[in-house]
Structure 1
Amino acid sequence: MIQVKLTTRNRNGAWQYRVRYQDENGTWHEKSKGGFKREREARQEGQIATRKVEDGAYQNERITVSAYLDFWFDTYKKDKLAYNSQESIKRAIKVIKPEIGHLLLDKLNAITYQKFINKIAKKYAQSTVRTYHARYHDAFKTAVKIGYLTKNPAADVVISNREDNRDKKKILELSEIPKFITAAKTLGQKAYTALFLDLNTGLRCGELIALTWDDYEEPYLSINKTAVHRTHEGTFIDQPKTKSAYRRIKLDPTTNEVLKAWKSRQETDNDADGIKNIRNLIFPGEDGVYFSSHLTVRFWIRKACEFAGIDHISTHSLRHTHTVLEMDAGADIKYVSKRLGHAKESTTIGIYHHVSEHIADESAKRYDEFVGQLWGNGTQKDEKS
């Protein structure tokens, strides 16, 4: 408990109050102010300062950016978010600490923060910088709410829009999809089925790994859990990322047949691919346990890309590819958003408009054809008239 002592004294004809307080670590601090004509006025102001000390209003003067971020995570985020989201926040905190973590929180301003963002933008992909910035903005927004800061230093930051090759490859282009699927077949039936299913459902990798045959009711898949890998602990089942992530997906006929074929393989040979499926998993790992992290799926994707002769994509790229395919096919945005388990439709729209190069190419081509017909028809009409 904080110890607080209030005293007043007359110095050179003017009254002054002094509030000394000892923090939880035993360190003494002081707040003082003079120039009062009467002792009563000094004491009244001193009592106000005392209440501020007791309410923690001066804590920001003693806390560093690093210490605050640890406090913020432990108080507002730890065990309150999905495991992967917590890990994402911890990675962001790990990046900022060596750069500006030593600064006192109340000394952090917009210019210092902007310089920090500019620095990490040279090292990380733009998408990563934006993710980290979102974490910091959230943390400092909380600092404003609880009185640690008067203004959010991350409020008006500018993130470079420079082209970054690491951000380029977000999806499979239409011409690459047949090559990718053909290459996936060479990896074995389990790998082929997993990648084909992921491409045609847009499942998150953890959702794919956690699937059991109990979740499959032809031609539907129920998404009600996700697999999370924790370093030094192994892979565990966790709740889906958000409430909207709980969903039931209808498989298209081709995907349904591919999954049925894999199910038949497992039923015929209980030791499919030399693996005992003791947990009734659709895609079991060794001894029927979940895949170690997402490394197995990443390996399959990398090999499929290599065999297909196309640029490497991430596990999330198949999800983004499915988003584009659905939207290009004319699917309703609400349907696509629900199918993907997005909490907001804006997320779905953002993916669609950001990741596919062929969207712009096809749109430009359609516009050129339209304008060509328009002006061509118009010219012909003018000539006839």
Structure 2
Amino acid sequence: MTVSKRKERNTWQYAFGYEGKTYRKSGFKTKREATEAETKARAELSEGMQFDNDVTLHDYFKEWAETYRKPNVSEITYRTYTTIITLLDSDKIGHTPLKNITRRMYQKFITSYAEDHSNETIRKFNGNISTAVDDAVHEGIVKKNFTYKVTYKGEVEAQKEDDKYITVAEYTKLKEAVRESNARSSLILFIMIATGCRISGAIRLQYDFINKKDCTLYIDENKTDTSPRTVSITPNDMQHILSVIDSYPKNMSGLVFDSITTNAVNKALKGNCQRLNIKPITSHALRHTHCSYLLSKGISIYYISKRLGHKNIKTTLEVYSHLLEESYETENDKAINALKFL
């Protein structure tokens, strides 16, 4: 062990080398604390948690979640972490080195996030970030936890189950409203309505993902619980998407939307809902409503599972079991009528 005492401060520190790099942390009150911290740090390095001093919040949280959370929680629970990973990937703070993030910077980020989320959602989000940053402090990547005493006031009430959907009439009205605008946020919302994809899938759309001939979009949401897939859309929807994209300057990156955040899209959704007198919803409600509409039209759960990108039908059943319960009586009547012919 390479533990030593800093006499000038009467504290203990550890310092050791690993694959050509030096890892050091000080400020421990006792030799035992420093020794235990070094043991944990060495173990984390050997398990693959290796970071340089410029690691970003997104990269650190992603590796942290995959290492310490994914093996120990259910697939449904882990979606909370993949949602955070996606959000961090789409926001400037996610691509900022951990060591450069200040309390003020993080507070501004949370304040902006609170504009479209409930207190409960923010509490869970901030709690997970804070826990990860605590480990970053322990590993010596940052000196202090920048989430300390962050304050927030959610502007959106926690959603009841009924609030996760809108009616078919509202869905159609919203689709027509965003069709009238060439704004990037409007086109992203249109794509989400047309395909049932998550916001990340629409934002990550590339020119090469669009098949005009077959009227399909390749959706890659970069999430662990969904699979990349090809989704069919109507010819009219394809024509609209292409015409709007043609009005944009072409990005050399290959991405249709080179720089837009989830917050910008959610704000556009909020504005449209207010203008159309539709109850406030999150962008994910568009995905829920897409599924609900297909189920109401008798589309098979197998097809819906594939269209939404779920890795198996079990996931679809777990997420939308309440919708299937609602259709039980109708399906029961169909079954009884069918059995009459046996």
TM, length-normalised to structure 1:
0.46
Aligned partner (choices 331, 334, 339) of residue 307 of structure 2 = 339
Checking the alignment, whether the CA contact within 8 Å between 1:202 and 1:319 is kept in structure 2 is yes
Q: In the alignment, does 2:202 pair up with 1:216?
A: no
Partner-residue secondary structure (3-state), 1:221: strand
Measure, in 1, the Cα distance between the counterparts of 2:38 and 2:172.
67
Q: In the alignment, does 2:274 pair up with 1:306?
A: yes
Checking the alignment, whether the CA contact within 8 Å between 2:216 and 2:230 is kept in structure 1 is yes
Q: Deviations over 1:140-174 (max 9, x none)?
A: xxxxxxxxxxxxxxxxxxxxxxxx95222212222
The answer for the alignment partner of 1:229 in structure 2 is none
The 5 A counterparts of 1:201-280 are: 201-217=195-211, 218-224=214-220, 240-242=222-224, 244-251=226-233, 253=234, 256-264=235-243, 266-267=245-246, 272=247, 275-279=248-252
Corresponding letter in the other structure for 1:222: Y
Measure, in 1, the Cα distance between the counterparts of 2:38 and 2:274.
63
Q: Residues 128 and 297 (structure 1 numbering): CA distance in 2 closer, same or farther, change over 3 Å? A: closer
The answer for the alignment partner of 2:48 in structure 1 is none
Q: Residues 183 and 76 (structure 1 numbering): CA distance in 2 closer, same or farther, change over 3 Å? A: closer
Superposition RMSD in Å: 5.1
Checking the alignment, whether the CA contact within 8 Å between 2:182 and 2:244 is kept in structure 1 is no
Checking the alignment, whether the CA contact within 8 Å between 1:323 and 1:351 is kept in structure 2 is no
* Shift, 1:246, TM fit: 1.9
Q: Residues 179 and 343 (structure 1 numbering): CA distance in 2 closer, same or farther, change over 3 Å? A: same
Q: Residues 340 and 264 (structure 1 numbering): CA distance in 2 closer, same or farther, change over 3 Å? A: same
Identical counterparts, % of pairs = 20
* Shift, 1:201, TM fit: 1.1
Checking the alignment, whether the CA contact within 8 Å between 1:323 and 1:336 is kept in structure 2 is yes
Measure, in 2, the Cα distance between the counterparts of 1:193 and 1:85.
23
**Structure with bigger gyration radius:** 1
Q: In the alignment, does 2:288 pair up with 1:320?
A: yes
* Shift, 1:53, TM fit: 11
Measure, in 1, the Cα distance between the counterparts of 2:312 and 2:227.
11
The 5 A counterparts of 1:11-22 are: none
Aligned partner (choices 187, 194, 199) of residue 193 of structure 2 = 199
Corresponding letter in the other structure for 1:321: T
Q: Which runs of 5+ in 1 are unaligned?
A: 5-21, 31-51, 57-72, 92-122, 140-163, 227-239, 375-385
Checking the alignment, whether the CA contact within 8 Å between 1:306 and 1:312 is kept in structure 2 is yes
* Shift, 1:176, TM fit: 1.9
Measure, in 2, the Cα distance between the counterparts of 1:86 and 1:320.
18
Q: Residues 54 and 361 (structure 1 numbering): CA distance in 2 closer, same or farther, change over 3 Å? A: closer
Aligned partner (choices 319, 326, 338) of residue 351 of structure 1 = 319
Measure, in 1, the Cα distance between the counterparts of 2:228 and 2:305.
12
Corresponding letter in the other structure for 2:231: I
Q: In the alignment, does 2:181 pair up with 1:181?
A: no
Q: Which runs of 5+ in 2 are unaligned?
A: 5-11, 15-25, 41-59, 68-80, 95-117, 133-155, 338-342
The answer for the alignment partner of 1:290 in structure 2 is 259
Q: Residues 166 and 179 (structure 1 numbering): CA distance in 2 closer, same or farther, change over 3 Å? A: same
